[in-house]
Structure 1
Amino acid sequence: MYALLSSETGLGFGASITIAAVLLVTYIVASVGYSLTLHPLAGFPGPVSTAASRIPFWVACVTGTQVTWMQKLHAKYGPVVRYSPSDLSFTDQDGSAWKAIHGHGKGEREFPKAREWFVTPANGVYGINSAPAHDDHRRFRRVFAPAFSDRALKQQEPLFRKHVDFLISKLSENVTKSGSIDMVKMFQFTTFDIMGDLTFGQPLGLLETNKYSSWVESVFDSIRVIPIAQFIQYYPVVNSIFNFLEPKVVKEMKYNHFKHSVDRVDMRLERGSGEPDIWNLVLSAKGDETLSLEEMYCHADVFMLAGTETTGTTMAGLTYYLLTNREKLELLTQEIRTVFSKESDITMESTAGLKFLNACIQEALRCYPPVPVGVPRIVPNPGRTIAGKWIAPETRVSVHHYATYHSPSNFRNPDAFVPERWLGDPVYKNDRRELVQPFATGPRDCIGRNMAMHEMRLMLALVYFKFDLELCEESRGWTQQRAFVLWEKKPLMCRLKLTSRT
């Protein structure tokens, strides 16, 4: 066949390869030329390399350097950066980018989420955090909203308190051993146990065993490969090839991980419960607001990550900033130990009014946002105006959390931990505090925001009421971390001692 083809066309194999190579190079040159000159985003600032190719962005993502990489781009090119041929990042300076990207005007379509950013669920059912259809998201929101209301949280407070009290007892045990302890693990153990109780009707037993279960370990291990999964899902051809060639061991790992949630939801539904956990409230939904079993499985998986890792991350980050800013720590402990005379006085309701504690949490979310990257949305037809600039449809746009919160155009002394900026300090009167949106904003903001804030206030107030903490020397510089959508956290080693009043 090859001989016949060569004789008829007069082309040898080498010549065919040369022609193919020339055509490929011509295509690449033409694509780059178009991207740099005629593309709708050609006029936006950014490096030539990122305007020509998405490769620099993928390299930053896969190596865990995307946060610092994007921050440097914004520092050099300004509040809007073209970081790949069809992507724009904003460090929102007046709030209009947040509103345009995450909200929507009357009669306008909301910006859909970029599908490749979310790892495809094992059963193919997208949950409240990634549902592509507006109607599905709205239905999920109506179903779950009662489970995260103030009324439900009040009913669930004994469950929260049980686990936080167990945390306090485990920390007290460590004090008697006069050793150091990793507060990252202790906070994460507690948040996973709490959410396990709320989602499955039973804790995961992490505090009790003082170690991560294999399932939770797999959650943390998978963080590093999130950018790789996003890369695969971004390119349809690559995604098709991967699905065809996906190793059996990878398929089994994904199946076993998802089956963990499936089995526990099934046991919870079979067992029943009189506790005010998530499923009792969800199962009371009627008519169109009921969930299918597959949707329950998917959401159990969603809540076990979204309601745990990020909350624990914030408390660990705040602890680091407090222990490296002793005067702020003293102000916080003074507030807590003045307002409360005994542990039983510390409740979700009583901690809600602690002004300095709330300011510390807000400042930790600004300095060390648990999701530090931008979460892309896609501009719908026929295009939209964002921050005063017309953006063509199909452009991926996002507000980059870390770069926005650390921009000197938005915040004075942006890299300093200053809770007073949230308390009306005139030195920081020009700070754009409304730009700090770690829970996102608009109709798809985080449904668990209230729960996270109550949980953090309760846990932090009890920890700092009961203990004096000191940072171990090996944890200096703890915030110098890589990020793969979520932070890859190092151990936060601390020494604890009981306060004199306890």
Structure 2
Amino acid sequence: MSSPANLVSRMFHDMSLQSLAIAGSAIFVLVHLVPWLVDKYNLRPYPGPLLAQFSDVWMGWAALRGRRSQLVHELHQKYGSFVRIAPNHLSISTPDALSLVYGHGTGTVKPDFYNAFVTIQPSLVSSRDRAEHTRKRKIVSHIFSAKSVVEFEPELHKFVEILLKQWETMYQNALKGMQGGEGENEWKGKDGRLWFNCLPWFNYLAFDFIGDLSFGEPFGMLAAGKDTAPAAKDIDSAMKSIERGDTSSIETIEIPAVEILNGRARYGHPIGVLPKHWRPIVGLHPTYSKGSEDVGAMAGMAIVSVAKRLAKPSERNDLLNKLSGAKDEHGQSMGREEITAEALGLLVAGSDTTSHSIAAIVYYITRDLQVQRKLQEELDAHISDTGPVSYDLVKNLPYLHACINEGLRLFSTVPIGLPRSVPEGGMTFMGHFFPEGTILSVPSYTTHRDPTVWGGDPGDVEFYRPERWLEADKETLGMMNKAFIPFSVGPRACIGRNIAMLEMVVAIASVMYEYDFVLEKEDQELQFKEGFIKRPLDVRVGIKRREHL
């Protein structure tokens, strides 16, 4: 039986806990209520989820669910062009806002959101400082020009050829009734076709190609038919080894790079939309801690690849060689750490984005047999040999590009509205004034479905119809091109656009020329997951060699 003293002590203890809980709740409410009352950014009049008016939790929840772009799209359908999605963040869905938010000379900057994607140091992709970004872009812009990118085609052909040979081997075995592989690479033969998931193979193609361009050698994923790449076991010790010029002491492990890159994207988006002071606490949750590990693993992958490449100087025409020799306007070249960060940025930005786009476009073409036949008729009129297709033969084919553009419209790999912070002095748009520090974004998912641009019938905008790019009159086509932003727009637009288009055009033309495709299930929907990058979950198809080949 407790003594009176113990009872009194427990009572005060319970009161203390209760007081702390009340005080904590009061502080939490005040922290979110006071900014709403003050309304520093003048966003209270704009509609949106109730929770989003007071807290970033709504954005974190939407991002964690992997459906942010769809949820924001539904809000725009309900409320109109202006929707408040966070206490200081306004989403604007009209294409006219693109030049305001992302255009040249507007002064908008990348907000703190992008710090969630920085590992070694800010790269061209993640740098928020305008002067530093301008410096980096001047160093590398010529590397990614249309003229320079064509020099990379022979390297691309090597990997497309490996892809086709791997598929042909599986196809010939499938004709014998064989089956093999495991997990996502499982395949089987039935009804004279090879049935398999083509998505992993496009991942391997993209990783090997960008790895070869960035680091001087591929990761060997295509040859192995497996998601695998070397990475530094310990990043800190590896970076010290690089600084000493001693790359032989770096310990390595094999990692599933595609899987880890997907985890990195899933982590960066939901953690990035939360306030900076929340991130260390939220990052302790298993969902986020695993993502943090993936971020480190990707950095380790870049460190090992750069170290191996720099340890063996080469005259190869790869990106790392170009980065090593490039200088800024003051004659300063990049240091090893900066080169490593840029190489990681190129790897991340140029791998899964392209492979996911190729897989989605193949799905859309396969789903409509009339589209597939029309495309193959166009290819047949310009191609005579099997194997990797020459870019010169297909770079101007109208229906091929219409198929690619329509796929990128419906399946933009970055479907969210990329955030920008309003500069000093504020900005005005359509009679709306936005003070300094307001976060604005234009969601590509919604912009690519604007019925005033893509068709009067709201249902038509969700339909894959390449013909819309060929039937449009000059005025309509101009509106479509203005609203078409798979690579974003303005000074922070994707610098690797030319490489991505080269890869998509050659890969899609090559596989579609050699094989007839059908979906494994006739009513098969394209399932996907969205982090910062939108990715298909699988694209299961049946292929057979076209009869005239």
Matches of 2:283 and 2:76, distance apart in 1 = 36
Matches of 2:281 and 2:35, distance apart in 1 = 25
Residue identity in the other structure for 2:209 = I
- The equivalent of 1:199 in structure 2 is 214
Long gaps (5+) in structure 1? 1-5, 7-11
Distance 1:353 1:103, change over 3 A: same
Identity %: 26
Per-residue Cα deviation, 1:154-205 (whole angstroms, up to 9, x for no partner): 3221111111111111111121122312111111110100011001111111
- The equivalent of 2:127 in structure 1 is 131
Long gaps (5+) in structure 2? 1-8, 10-14, 175-193, 229-254
- Within a 5 Å distance, the mapping from 1:399-414 to structure 2 comes to 399-412=442-455, 413-414=460-461
Matches of 2:222 and 2:439, distance apart in 1 = 41
- The equivalent of 1:266 in structure 2 is 307
- Within a 5 Å distance, the mapping from 1:466-477 to structure 2 comes to 466-473=514-521, 476-477=524-525
Per-residue Cα deviation, 1:385-436 (whole angstroms, up to 9, x for no partner): 2344211211111110111112323321110111122123459947633111
Q: Which moved further from structure 2: 37-46 or 17-26?
A: 17-26
- The equivalent of 1:149 in structure 2 is 145
- Within a 5 Å distance, the mapping from 1:396-475 to structure 2 comes to 396-412=439-455, 413-425=460-472, 429=476, 432-473=480-521
RMSD (Å), alpha carbons:
2.9
- Within a 5 Å distance, the mapping from 1:306-345 to structure 2 comes to 306-343=349-386
Which of 66, 69, 75 is residue 67 of structure 1 equivalent to?
Answer: 69
Q: Secondary structure of the residue that 1:260 maps to in structure 2?
A: helix
Which of 47, 50, 62 is residue 48 of structure 1 equivalent to?
Answer: 50
Matches of 2:449 and 2:83, distance apart in 1 = 16
Q: Give the TM-score normalised by the residue count of structure 2.
A: 0.81
- The equivalent of 2:277 in structure 1 is 237
Q: Secondary structure of the residue that 1:154 maps to in structure 2?
A: helix
Per-residue Cα deviation, 1:8-56 (whole angstroms, up to 9, x for no partner): xxxx747854872674376267437517x78511122323332233322
Residues 117 and 126, structure 2, Cα contact 8 Å, conserved in 1: no
- Within a 5 Å distance, the mapping from 1:346-425 to structure 2 comes to 346-412=389-455, 413-425=460-472
Matches of 1:86 and 1:307, distance apart in 2 = 31
Matches of 1:206 and 1:345, distance apart in 2 = 18
Residue identity in the other structure for 2:276 = P
Shift of residue 241, structure 1, vs aligned partner:
4.9
Distance 1:493 1:428, change over 3 A: farther
Residues 348 and 458, structure 1, Cα contact 8 Å, conserved in 2: yes
Residues 193 and 203, structure 1, Cα contact 8 Å, conserved in 2: yes
Distance 1:204 1:88, change over 3 A: same
Which of 281, 296, 304 is residue 322 of structure 2 equivalent to?
Answer: 281
Matches of 1:352 and 1:225, distance apart in 2 = 36
Matches of 2:513 and 2:60, distance apart in 1 = 45
Residues 81 and 88, structure 1, Cα contact 8 Å, conserved in 2: yes
Residues 33 and 54, structure 2, Cα contact 8 Å, conserved in 1: no
Shift of residue 104, structure 1, vs aligned partner:
3.4
Distance 1:289 1:89, change over 3 A: farther
- The equivalent of 2:269 in structure 1 is 227
- Considering Cα pairs closer than 8 Å and 6+ residues apart, tell me whether 1 or 2 has the greater RCO: 1
Residue identity in the other structure for 1:456 = M
- The equivalent of 1:166 in structure 2 is 162
Matches of 1:135 and 1:32, distance apart in 2 = 31
Per-residue Cα deviation, 1:118-143 (whole angstroms, up to 9, x for no partner): 424332x1000111212211121122
- The equivalent of 1:187 in structure 2 is 202
Q: How many residues align?
A: 484
Shift of residue 305, structure 1, vs aligned partner:
1.4
Matches of 2:295 and 2:36, distance apart in 1 = 41
Residues 261 and 294, structure 2, Cα contact 8 Å, conserved in 1: no
Matches of 1:361 and 1:466, distance apart in 2 = 18
Q: Which moved further from structure 2: 133-142 or 458-467?
A: 133-142
Matches of 1:345 and 1:309, distance apart in 2 = 21
Runs of 4+ displaced beyond 6 Å? 242-252
Matches of 1:30 and 1:252, distance apart in 2 = 35
Matches of 1:446 and 1:64, distance apart in 2 = 23
Shift of residue 443, structure 1, vs aligned partner:
1.1
Residue identity in the other structure for 2:196 = I
Residues 152 and 276, structure 1, Cα contact 8 Å, conserved in 2: no
Matches of 1:18 and 1:314, distance apart in 2 = 49
